[in-house]
Structure 1
Amino acid sequence: MTRATRHYVLAAGGTGGHLIPAFALAAELSQRGHHVALVTDDRGAALPGKPDFLPAHVIPASKLGRNPLKWPAGLGAILEGRRMAMRLYESFQPSAVIGFGGYPVFPALLGAMACDIPTLVHEQNAVLGRVNRFFASRVDAIATAYPEVARLDEKHAAKVHLVGNPVRAEVLSLRDEPFPAFTADGLLRVLVTGGSQGARVLSEIVPDGLAMLPPAIRQRLQVTQQCRAEDLEAVRQRYRSHDIPAELGSYFEDMAERLADAHLFIGRAGASTIAELTAVGRPAILVPLPIATDDHQAANTREIVKSGGARMIRQEKFTAKELAKQIQALAQRPETLATAAHAAWNCGRPRAVKDLADLVESFGANELMDVIRVGANNARGASQGEAVGQGAGA
């Protein structure tokens, strides 16, 4: 089918959780022949992974916190960001503006609404974020990553579309690869990551937890762990003292390959992390970040834990003894780990970026295509992922 070239603006705050799905959508829309621009903040413009073709427009943004003395400055930044966004829209002429969460989305969507441009938001987490919550009644469509999203009012159900979380192409390409062979006497490869906010507790607990495993499991361990740079030497010494082979680093460029080789993941429960785990099908022990807004990381684990693809441990209960207990339950028999991997895989939504792009394309198409495309996405959402689930098992 011949597609008409259109322009779209993606708006996202400067964190990977917001920008990774935005980058994935930008690549898909560009591949379909459209022109895409990014509205973000300074952090977002500098984040690794931004496609070369995607121009980044940095606009002022701020949150209106609890201190009234800071409201005038914050409001001033928002209004200036709105003016800058409107100037961009005047020249770029977007068919729609899509928000992915974060404070730059606020002025970007305000500007779009002032210019009468269709607007959409994508919520990566299982709890509707604050900015998306504010705009829920005002936008034309709400794309979600999970069948159940807390803080999303039922009165908006007609414009909710379940699409999933877009993941990086190099991760999605691993979906049809088999789970790595795991035998009763083979290596048990463990991948540990925690992000900049959460790596320290993992660095403190995981080495000791692995050391508490029965010798038959401990002697087969091969660990890859991402740590804060300042923690690397201390963690290295912990592993040495336990005689457990471990490769440590503050950043791994080939994370997709390491995920492909892993038999078990231990880490936080950010939306992008869970999307990648379910895209590839990897069992996990998840430790939600306790300070995450609205406890959204714990909510993110609900679907994969219920399926049997992961186990969740609250940070206050995350001890070496508890970790060893959960690993032993998963890894004592090869079939247990393989079954968990398949359960995680079944939670994946591999068409997420395509379904989101279809929804976005419905804004700017002719009226007939609007009905077809939006209707199809609503059908997926209304069935709580049934169509997507069938795709995952294909």
Structure 2
Amino acid sequence: MTGANRHYVLAAGGTGGHLLPAFALAAELDRRGHHVALVTDARGAQIPGKPDFLTAHVLPVGRFGKNPLGWIKGLSAVMEGRRMARALFDSFQPSAVVGFGGYPSLPALLAATSAGIPSVVHEQNAVLGRVNRLLSGRVDAIATAYPDVERLKPKFLRKVHLVGNPVRHELLDLREEDYPELTEDGLIRVLVTGGSQGARVLSEVVPDGLAMLPPALRMRLQVTQQCRPEDLEAVRERYRTHDIPAELATYFEDMAARLADAHLFIGRAGASTIAELTAVGRPAILVPLPIATDDHQAANTVEMVKAGGARMIRQERFTGKELAKQIMALADNPKGLANAAYAAWSCGRPDAVKDLADLVESFGGAEMMDVIRVGANTARGATQGVATGSASNRTSMGGRAA
């Protein structure tokens, strides 16, 4: 707490990947006694999970595709959004503006930098996004979720702060719980998801891949899988044919509880997914979305794979045979999955929202505080009195297997 109530504006694109971290920061700043407003587009204003206290201001969005003929229209929308943001800032008087990427954040950050208002961008992925890349030379600080971020110019490293990616409180509450007990003949619970709609490639490959496991391992499986509505019956029939128990649905409301019970996760490699897996400590087989901008999902897997907490399979190589091979590599001995779970857990940054709030609070108040906790392996971001040690960099997991 700073002892002073201030105003902050958060600007984010209209997807959950951009907005969920913004919602988490808004809740933390509100808890600290500050006033927070949100700038987004019409789609973002409808995303579930927005705190009730957070007022959303919808600005025009300028998009810049491959066709140059549309750039004039896009630029016009950006400039109109910038004008509207300046008007908002004149009345709201923010101490800082925080951008979370996506085109809807561009007008607000341009307005902030032109008005001399301190600005911060938060990058959720391991590749700096297009808008954050465009603004990296203008903003005062760049908060990252990974120690190494592609497309980030070396000359801007002095303003980088590793904070992590905020995750839901119900998942953070699971961080100190032990990895589910896994005996030599006990159930192995597998959780399979592919985003809000379920990835079709997972529905096509996972049932057959699990069926290729050795019988002694296959007979222990209990699968929970999210599928597209149109794939549901076909996937159910595949599991029935392979005699593998499976619970299938298009959406699970209790996803946190499902992850808590899981011994192994199979799915995409979005920033929020990685943050949740490492917060809870769950081993994973990750299949990056091949059309993700700048291949950022593949980059998101690097830290977790290097630590031994995950295996990554490119979609073009994602076959049943390869899936079975990678599962066997993780579960090659009775402690294999538990050791991988610990490796995943070690990559987690549970203080992400607190660290990001500390960084944001350091603008518009007193001199830059020394309470920003960045990872010990990223001293490159430790400037202006920023501490290089963190309570989140733990060396043990209590009763967890290692």
Q: TM-score range by the shorter chain?
A: over 0.9
CA contact (8 A) 2:141 2:160 kept: yes
CA contact (8 A) 1:198 1:289 kept: no
Q: Residue 330 of structure 1 aligns with which residue?
A: 330
Q: Residue 347 of structure 1 aligns with which residue?
A: 347
Distance, in Å, in 1 between the alignment partners of 2:369 and 2:391 is 20
Structure 1 counterpart of 2:274, one-letter code: I
CA contact (8 A) 1:345 1:392 kept: no
Distance, in Å, in 2 between the alignment partners of 1:206 and 1:32 is 45
Distance, in Å, in 1 between the alignment partners of 2:313 and 2:5 is 47
Which is richer in helix? 1
Deviation at 1:300, TM superposition (A): 0.7
Q: Residue 242 of structure 2 aligns with which residue?
A: 242
Distance, in Å, in 1 between the alignment partners of 2:389 and 2:115 is 37
Distance, in Å, in 2 between the alignment partners of 1:2 and 1:389 is 22
Note closer, same or farther for the CA distance 1:92–1:380 as it changes in structure 2 (3 Å cut): farther
- Of 154-163 and 384-393, more deviation after overlay is shown by 384-393
CA contact (8 A) 2:37 2:57 kept: yes
Q: Does 1:201 align with 2:201?
A: yes
Note closer, same or farther for the CA distance 1:5–1:377 as it changes in structure 2 (3 Å cut): farther
Q: Does 1:382 align with 2:379?
A: yes
Deviation at 1:172, TM superposition (A): 0.9
Query: For each residue in 1:193-245, what CA deviation from the matched residue of structure 2 results, as whole angstroms up to 9, or x when unmatched?
Result: 11157611001100111111111111111111111122212211211221211
Distance, in Å, in 2 between the alignment partners of 1:56 and 1:87 is 15
Deviation at 1:386, TM superposition (A): 5.6
Deviation at 1:359, TM superposition (A): 0.1
Query: For each residue in 1:245-283, what CA deviation from the matched residue of structure 2 results, as whole angstroms up to 9, or x when unmatched?
Result: 111112111111110000000001111100110000000
CA contact (8 A) 2:198 2:228 kept: no
Distance, in Å, in 2 between the alignment partners of 1:209 and 1:379 is 39
Q: Residue 260 of structure 2 aligns with which residue?
A: 260
- Of 242-251 and 152-161, more deviation after overlay is shown by 242-251
Structure 1 counterpart of 2:31, one-letter code: Q
Q: Does 1:98 align with 2:98?
A: yes
Q: Residue 135 of structure 2 aligns with which residue?
A: 135
CA contact (8 A) 1:112 1:118 kept: yes
Deviation at 1:392, TM superposition (A): 6.7
Deviation at 1:334, TM superposition (A): 2.5
Aligned Cα RMSD in Å? 1.8
Q: Residue 38 of structure 2 aligns with which residue?
A: 38
**Identity in percent:** 74
The SS at the match of 1:195 is coil
The SS at the match of 1:42 is coil
The SS at the match of 1:390 is coil
Distance, in Å, in 1 between the alignment partners of 2:160 and 2:333 is 41
Figure out how many residues of one structure are paired with residues of the other and give that number: 391
Deviation at 1:115, TM superposition (A): 2.2
Select 2:370's aligned residue among 366, 369, 372. Answer: 372
Distance, in Å, in 2 between the alignment partners of 1:110 and 1:267 is 36
Distance, in Å, in 2 between the alignment partners of 1:282 and 1:256 is 12
Structure 2 counterpart of 1:382, one-letter code: A
The SS at the match of 1:65 is coil
CA contact (8 A) 1:193 1:227 kept: yes
Structure 1 counterpart of 2:159, one-letter code: K
CA contact (8 A) 2:41 2:61 kept: yes
Q: TM-score, normalised by structure 1?
A: 0.95
Deviation at 1:329, TM superposition (A): 2.4
Distance, in Å, in 2 between the alignment partners of 1:296 and 1:65 is 19
- Of 341-350 and 239-248, more deviation after overlay is shown by 239-248
CA contact (8 A) 1:179 1:281 kept: yes
Distance, in Å, in 2 between the alignment partners of 1:391 and 1:43 is 39
CA contact (8 A) 1:205 1:319 kept: yes
Distance, in Å, in 1 between the alignment partners of 2:170 and 2:110 is 34
Distance, in Å, in 1 between the alignment partners of 2:361 and 2:374 is 12
